[in-house]
Amino acid sequence: MARPKRFVGARLRRLRQQHGLAQAALAQALALSPSYLNQIERDQRPLTPAVQARLEALLGPQPTLFDDAGPAALVGELREALAELGEPAATPEELETLAGDLPGIARVLLDLHRRQRAIRERADVLAAQLGEAELAGPDGDPVRDYFNRRRNHVAELDDIAEAAFGAQGLVAGQVAPRLRQRLRDAHGIAVALGDGLDDKRRFDPDTRTLWLPDWLQPGQQAFQMAAELALREHGALIDTLVAQAGFVDPERAAQARIGLSNYYAGALVMPYGAFLDAAQAEHYDIDRLAHRFGVGFEAVCHRLSTLARPGRPGLPFFFVRVDRAGNVSKRHSATDFHFSHVGGACPLWIVYEAFNQPGRILTQVARMPDGRRHFWLARQVESGPAGYGRRRRTFAVSLGCDLRHADRLVYSRGLDLDDLANATPIGPGCKVCERTDCVQRAFPPLRLPGFHRTAGDGPGA
């Protein structure tokens, strides 16, 4: 098969220099005029198959010169670095050109990125050691940080959702039919279920139909309909909240709108007062709350982390959702718990054991390096279409609180919460954690010169 013509000027020039050949000498060896070779090296002419053959006969096989993909590992590192920095993604062709034609420059850029990441990690370590809130570095999520700054409670939406629940005569656990009717009567929107939908909901403006996946349970359907109503009936308020938060970038603003509409949906399906009363009466039994309000385990956990109404708060919970690879896709805190993004999460944390025991609710008393103790529960959850061979999304969700609140949870029954031997020593991440005797340590801790804190010095110890 004939090889295609290639523009490889920078690579050819570097190859010539590596062999100590002047441009005129290589041109003579290849039976080319110096000006012709000069044009090839300046990408004004392609390297034809005939010249490729003569070059390889002279210098031997040159796979890196003619590799269409360029150095694959270098391309992958560049793509990962740009993604971590939150910069607009370069095209594959641009990355291949940089890696293939200018590998030295590519490696310099990667080295600068590694140095920048190390500086950011050291700053995060300092913040963790000083007990400060998590720093929002380039890998942070500004929308998630916005909710955490508000302690995951948006009173403006919570209040109007609770009022709407009463005004529309909704009944806990049976919300879906009434919301379907409201979409039809107030907005002329029909709700239909469909197979094979990739999105949780999709609106067709031509037919004015809100399509929902047919695998959603009634409570999940109600949640999606409530989120649609939030955008249609309270869009001005949501836009005001987005503007007040300072989200001017269209992508971030859209993400914030989704987050706020979802917040309203959770508050409408699980109205604050009724939900808090039920949570306290059931001793925060998540399965019983899920049954009463017709929603899933994860939705209840998330809602429990939002109960921070002034004058009538619920327990200050932390909520996190991870996948098997350790990626944190949700993390919210109604208190100041530090979710570190330095050095990954602790493998001894109960949330990761949940994948090994699907269907079970696991509990853990955990002790942080600074002496703080927390109570955690975790369970694996799945979502997606039912049926053999159908792919489903799998996560582990975990809910935690300070140990002093644990006796109010049904999950602490039978446990001796005062016995320190029952506490599993975990940490915020290997590069932040100061434990030296951990068998699961993956990285040495980053230490700051002249700074040391002993156990028990942290806030809340």
Neighbours of 116 (CB within 10 A): 15
Higher pLDDT, 364 or 93: 364
Higher pLDDT, 280 or 149: 280
Taking alpha carbons only, the member of 415, 409, 174, 175 closest to residue 314 is 409
Residue 123 pLDDT: 66
Task: Indicate whether 91 and 58 sit together in one domain.
Answer: no
Domain boundary among 44, 66, 88: 66
Q: Is 133 inside any structural domain?
A: no
The domain total for the chain is: 4
Query: Residue 23 maps to which CATH number?
Result: 1.10.260.40
Domain boundary among 284, 314, 344: 314
Q: Is 1 inside any structural domain?
A: no
- Whether residue 297 is predicted with pLDDT greater than 50 in this model: the reply is yes
Higher pLDDT, 444 or 266: 266
- Whether residue 69 is predicted with pLDDT greater than 60 in this model: the reply is no
Strand partners, 210: 191, 203
Task: Indicate whether 124 and 237 sit together in one domain.
Answer: no
Check if the beta carbon of residue 403 is closer than 8 Å to that of residue 375: yes
Range among 25-29, 59-63, 103-107 rated most confident: 25-29
Alpha helices in 285-416 (DSSP H): 286-293, 297-304, 350-353
Structure tokens at 168: 């529309």
- Whether residue 388 is predicted with pLDDT greater than 60 in this model: the reply is yes
Task: Indicate whether 195 and 337 sit together in one domain.
Answer: no
Query: Residue 191 maps to which CATH number?
Result: 1.10.10.2910
- Name the average pLDDT for the chain: 83
Residue 126 pLDDT: 61
Q: Is 411 inside any structural domain?
A: yes
Residue 58 pLDDT: 87
Task: Indicate whether 202 and 322 sit together in one domain.
Answer: no
Q: Is 103 inside any structural domain?
A: yes
Q: Is 137 inside any structural domain?
A: no
Higher pLDDT, 152 or 97: 152
Q: Is 22 inside any structural domain?
A: yes
Residue 395 pLDDT: 94
Residue 107 pLDDT: 81
Confidence of residue 67 (pLDDT cuts 50, 70, 90): low
**CA-atom Rg of the chain in angstroms:** 29
Q: Is 3 inside any structural domain?
A: no
Domain boundary among 280, 314, 348: 314
Residue 282 pLDDT: 97
* Domain extent at residue 243: 142-314
Higher pLDDT, 415 or 450: 415
Q: What's the mean pLDDT in 364-377?
A: 88
- Whether residue 455 is predicted with pLDDT greater than 50 in this model: the reply is no
Residue 458 pLDDT: 37
Confidence of residue 104 (pLDDT cuts 50, 70, 90): confident
Helix H or strand E encompassing 363: strand 362-367
Q: Is 456 inside any structural domain?
A: yes
Quote the CA–CA distance of 270 and 276 in Å, as a whole number. 9
pTM, entire model:
0.71
- Whether residue 198 is predicted with pLDDT greater than 50 in this model: the reply is yes
Residue 208 pLDDT: 96
Residues 202-243: pLDDT tens digits? 999 999 999 999 989 899 999 999 999 999 999 999 999 999
Range among 13-27, 73-87, 222-236, 342-356 rated most confident: 222-236
Task: Indicate whether 157 and 305 sit together in one domain.
Answer: yes
Per this entry, what is the length of the chain?
A: 461
Quote the CA–CA distance of 395 and 326 in Å, as a whole number. 10
Confidence of residue 157 (pLDDT cuts 50, 70, 90): very high
Confidence of residue 288 (pLDDT cuts 50, 70, 90): very high
Confidence of residue 456 (pLDDT cuts 50, 70, 90): very low
Check if the beta carbon of residue 265 is closer than 8 Å to that of residue 233: no
Q: What's the mean pLDDT in 108-123?
A: 75
Residue 406 pLDDT: 94
